[in-house]
A and B are shown apart, each in its own frame.
Chain A
Amino acid sequence: MAQAGKGRLNFRCPQCFMRDIDMDMFYDKDKKEYYCIRCQYHGDEKDVLEKNEQIRLKYRAMYHRFKDFEDFSDDLS
């Protein structure tokens, strides 16, 4: 196969992101997938986007708009 390159967008490895590492992925045209050279993650764009949504699960208050910074009565779960 020819050398890998960057894809349409420059996706990071979702598995590495989950452990706080920003790793650019490369695109394998033959297999039509992104892959990480640091860990063993590989997947197509759909899979990357699904994993990126899972990353967001840790941000449980990311859609909450805070009005008071010493009032802890809001349910943020």
Chain B
Amino acid sequence: MTVCRNKEAVKHMSDFIVNIIHRPEMVPEYAEKVTGHGKEEDLGREGLLTESLDIFKIQQECAHKNGLKTTIQMTYASLFNEEAVALAKEHHEKYGDEIGLTLLGLPCEQFREKYKTKDFCIWMFSMEDKKAIVNDVFEKFHECFGFYPESTGSYYLDAALINYIKEKYPSVKCAVATCWEEGPKAYHTCNNSWYTLMDGGPWAPWIPSKQNTHAPAANREEDSGIVAIPHLSRDLLACYDGNGSNFGTHPQNVLRGMIYNSKTWEYPYLYNLIDQYRYLEKFNNGYAYNMMFVGPGWMNKMGRWEAPYELLLKSYEDGCAYYGQLKKEGKLLDMTMSEFADYYRAKKHYEEPECALWRDILYGSDKQLFWYCDPYMRACVNMDEGGAIVDLRPYVSKLDDPMGIGTKHVQDVSYPFLIQEKYRAGYFTHYAGEGTVRSAKICYQGEEADLCLCRTKAHFREENGVRSLTLDPAEIEFRNLKCTVQTVISFKEGDSSIRIDRKLLSCTDPDAEITVDEYMVGCYGTTEYPEDMTSLTLSLDEESLAYEYKCRELHKENADRAECVLPPVKTRVILECEASRKEGYVKEGYAFSPMFTLGYKAVLKAGEGVTTWLRLEKAD
């Protein structure tokens, strides 16, 4: 293996890595639905099987002719096909491709006959069935190849399943384990018929904890033993806002989004997306990652939606050609999944975060987001809203809910949020109530301006284990006063908190007293719909409120901490403040505004500042 350099060398290099994965899916998702329209379902149809293998061969050829190695993830169905098995062996020998095993592509006659179900998403099965299927598929793989695979995956793998696979088949060290922000938005896009509800995970490779796949391991004890990679590398702005399946390193997804010139068949967006991922090495100690994984159904001879086969093929050839060109220029390392797992373990340590300062590359809006992910949280900072935190997932609680049939999480495996501006309003609400967001209001003589309305840009810095964003100062205009406010947002490695420093840089009246109201409006959930809030408890130092939708408030001068305990997500969220003059408060919501608010009001003069810490803790 060429990539397993010594740990010190790896740490200081600047690498952009791609995993290209192909699966010989004998009954591709979509294909039977599309090509078989008007016919009774027949998974063994000769034409379907032949075409599927042909597509796999074309995909392999696209990669190989551009000098790229692949990971061949055998499907259950393909293990019954001698030609598919022979091809995998040949390409392993000839091109160095890895032969892995995917838990996608289960549907085939043999599977249906054995398991008497049309289910095909491995995380949705009962634990008993998961184990039986894993045993079956892995042993069948061994029968075909004489060894067990080092990589596996699906759109999602729940923690119990990963733990079982690792225990039973310790050779596995890498797995495709989630698809970023594929949740309610994808469900809606598919007319509420695509049940992959898996929001809230990392967008880039990580080591899943034993408790919850989405929450990265904080240490060796929590380490599930595998390196997880996301299913595709997704646009961190477009996918957050819209349908994830249109904006990823999947050329046909770009066509699905109609992000191409219909006359010239050009799609600069695909290259911009790859290039912006390359740029992320700047924030991650010289490392960036891409994953391309196109199921054969997307290169169907019948075309896919309005895109004819020729365009589908061209886009895949162009995608591989671009990665190939980058490799030739020395700007890309192509690895198999297991090679990447070795690389990743040498490169990263448990508490090292993944960071992404991401700009809009599609809508021309100049919007900029910052994504942060570590074993304790995932957070999104929106510079178009003055550096407000618009998405927050408390990984610190390491929720260990079982998943699949027979549990409370048959389909919904999303990691819950405390803040999610798309599902729970954010700054703007209709008529009444509040939406979830962490921001600040600047107040003076009865007027107030929320920083959410100050569009700005951020500058990233890393120093002594602290990643910080310094925002261009916001200008606030009151009737009789103007001031500028600077925001610095910091994430200290291993600290499970977000520090926000606000400084009143200048003021047209140097003696004016400005109130900075630092607040977080939160709730919990995984979808757009409200949850029962009655188990929550709000506290301000020693005083507390059990949530009863009664719109009550607590206020206290110089309070040490405002907090909320959320038993359904086993999380305690705490706001602390450092300022010379401060008042803490908590607010209960009401039925039309099922939220809670934690806040501090600090009084400042020009040149003074206020610091707050939003801390997340596990609450059992």
Contacts and interface: CB of A to CB of B under 8 A. Distances in A.
Contacts of A11: 305-306
A23 B191 contact: yes
Interface in A35-60: 38, 48-49, 52-53, 55-56, 58-60
A6 B37 contact: yes
A70 B38 CA distance: 51
Interface in A1-59: 5-6, 9-12, 17, 20-24, 38, 48-49, 52-53, 55-56, 58-59
A60 B364 contact: yes
A5 B37 CA distance: 8
Interface in B177-222: 185, 188-191
Contact of A66 (B38, B305, B361, B459): B361
A9 B305 contact: yes
B275 to A, nearest CB: 7
Given A10-B34, A55-B258, A72 B457 contact: yes
Given A5-B38, A53-B262, A10 B304 contact: yes
A63 B34 contact: no
B261 interface: yes
Interface residues of B, number: 43
Q: Is the interface of A mostly helix, strand, loop or mixed?
A: loop
Contact of A70 (B302, B357, B360): B357
A56 B263 CA distance: 13
Contacts of B190: 22
B61 interface: no
Contacts of A58: 363
Contacts of B256: 22
Contacts of B302: 10
Given A5-B38, A20-B188, A65 B272 contact: yes
Given A48-B306, A58-B363, A60-B363, 10 more contacts: A9-B307, A10-B34, A10-B305, A11-B306, A17-B258, A52-B262, A56-B262, A59-B363, A61-B362, A62-B259
13 contacts: A10-B302, A11-B305, A20-B188, A21-B191, A24-B305, A56-B259, A61-B361, A63-B261, A64-B268, A66-B275, A69-B276, A69-B361, A70-B357
